[in-house]
Structure 1
């Protein structure tokens, strides 16, 4: 089943037990992904011949990291890639294994919302663990106002930053 950006954004905001999986290679994932996504490459998903192997090689680990248990018939799993082709292939494979709530999201190349690197996400997690609660806009987010300037690590325009771009 296909999702659009707005539907995925709504699911991200309202479903804490939705499993979001980036099916791109690890290097692509590390360079930038949707916050909260886990990573399991399409090759790892498609190469698995049995449902048990699929869980052992990553999906259960991703689910456990979110404090949930993966269930073939109850878990909502959303897959995405860069352009949507690899995630569509992974969705088809998972559906052939009996997963019923598997969705293909639009590719990251057209994602209009925030993207984080693995290092940025780790910095936020470490700050949260150390301080209990920190606004994520304060730690390691990229603030893209569309001006072309690199606002990485800055508080961004919404916090009074002025890069001279008039955004």
Structure 2
């Protein structure tokens, strides 16, 4: 592995991607119960305990299960988040292990997003 340091993205940078980027692949690794209370727009819910298996799936299986196209290993805007930041970092690490070289964690997580968005 090239680096054991988890790359992070700020609220401001993520907000810009949510609003403008066609390439953003945003993964919410919280439980369904947490997601039901609110989520960041355009995110796909893949709970933390299924992240490694999900990103190891063949593209057809991934699309069938999650309804979206599996991102390529060099996806430029692959971002993980959770409620407080820890699970997002774990998921980002799992993505690195699977070869997703540009994966990032939104360390502010849903708590920061919802506070700044007034949710």
TM-score w.r.t. structure 2 length? 0.78
Partner of 1:163: none
1:83-122 matched pairs, under 5 angstroms: 83-105=84-106, 106-111=108-113, 112-113=116-117
The alpha-carbon distance between structure 1 residues 45 and 58, as it changes in their structure 2 partners (threshold 3 A), is farther
User: What RMSD, in angstroms, separates the aligned Cα atoms of the two structures?
Assistant: 2.7
Aligned residues: 110
Matched, 1:63 2:59: no
Cα distance in 2, alignment partners of residues 9 and 54 from structure 1: 27
Q: Which has the larger radius of gyration?
A: 1
Tell me, yes or no, if the aligned pair for 1:19 and 1:63 is still in contact at 8 Å.
Answer: no
With a CA cutoff of 8 Å and minimum separation of 6, indicate the structure with the bigger relative contact order: 2
Partner of 1:2: 8
The alpha-carbon distance between structure 1 residues 74 and 101, as it changes in their structure 2 partners (threshold 3 A), is same
Give the CA deviation at 1:31: 1.3
What are the ranges of 5 or more consecutive residues in structure 1 without an aligned counterpart? 116-167
